[in-house]
Amino acid sequence: MNIEQNKPLKDLTTFKIGGNADYFISINHYDDIKKAVFFAKKNNLKTFILGKGSNIIFDSKGFNGLVIHVNIDFCKLYNNNLIVGAGYSFPLLGHITAKNDLGGLEFAKGVPGSVGGAIFMNASAFGQNVSDSLISVQCLTENNQIVNLKKNECNFEYRDSIFQKNKMIILSARFLLQNNNDALKIQKEMLDKKLLNQPLNERNAGCIFKNPKDTSARKIIESCDLLNCQVGGAKISLKHANFIINENEASSDDVLNLIKHVKQVVFEKTKINLYEEVKYIPY
């Protein structure tokens, strides 16, 4: 096992924010995950499971524990069945499946995470959810047992899954996809819409807030005149009000204070509570 010390975290995230992790390991094999978990327990270290870092804000002080980067990245496609490692690129999975005229994961090409992160978050866009075509998830329990959860055991809800509560580490997933000769066309339409509407070329962590029932956080934030609002190096995107941009070496405090400000103003003006989709990882 190659455990690194004082590992800079910011370049492992799309936000480009974060100090150093006291300990860090990138895992390619199931056995190494068990060893990493054992190492953390033995040394009384807290752990954080990292995918592709596209939905998180690491603290600028870093992380005083062990960051386990799940990098298990195999992908086996046979007929309509797919078995894929949790560290596999979700956009690449979307690309490969659509190219093979398989429908169900077209939206994945625009979601810059890992398969494990997408399942943990129940990622979705344009009416498609990762859970729609999922059959089962293989994971490591807190007791170091490898188990398979069927889709209906994963408690998927909007941006939620059982994995946000049970501390299991997602290792791989099985999907069943539908034949669809239009998959590539559908995917292109989705990507074109995303490029038009989202600041994809800037440093961000995707949507900051969950959409409240029957409305969008973007519209609410816009209606409260918060576009372009800034704290330190963190700014509300002009292109999409539910995105915060790390414009100028923003710290985690800049982002957290901007989030707090947006929530306060939105509540004062609309009496609506916004809840974060993005995950802040404290030191």
Ligand X SMILES: Cc1cc2nc3c(=O)[nH]c(=O)nc-3n(C[C@H](O)[C@H](O)[C@H](O)COP(=O)(O)OP(=O)(O)OC[C@H]3O[C@@H](n4cnc5c(N)ncnc54)[C@H](O)[C@@H]3O)c2cc1C
Q: Which residues bind ligand X (CB under 6 A)?
A: 14, 49-56, 70, 86, 110-114, 116-118, 120-121, 123-125, 163, 169-170, 198, 200, 204-206, 279
CB atoms within 10 A of CB 230: 16
The kind and range of the H/E element at 95 are helix 90-99
Q: CB of residue 118 vs ligand X: minimum separation in angstroms?
A: 4
Between 14 and 60, CB nearer to ligand X: 14
Q: CB of residue 15 vs ligand X: minimum separation in angstroms?
A: 8
Q: CB of residue 34 vs ligand X: minimum separation in angstroms?
A: 14
Give catalytic status of residue 207 as yes or no: yes
Of the candidates 106, 159, 203, 218, the residue annotated as catalytic is 159
Which residue carries 């060893």 as its tokens? 35
Between 27 and 183, CB nearer to ligand X: 27
Give catalytic status of residue 174 as yes or no: no
Give catalytic status of residue 4 as yes or no: no
For residues 122 and 163, give the distance between their C-alpha atoms in angstroms, rounded to a whole number: 10
* Token couple for 104: 């169900």
Between 114 and 251, CB nearer to ligand X: 114
Exposure string for 155-176, b = 16+ CB within 10 A, e = fewer: bbeebbbbbeeeebbbbbbbbe
Between 57 and 79, CB nearer to ligand X: 57
Q: CB of residue 193 vs ligand X: minimum separation in angstroms?
A: 10
Known catalytic residues are: 159, 207, 277
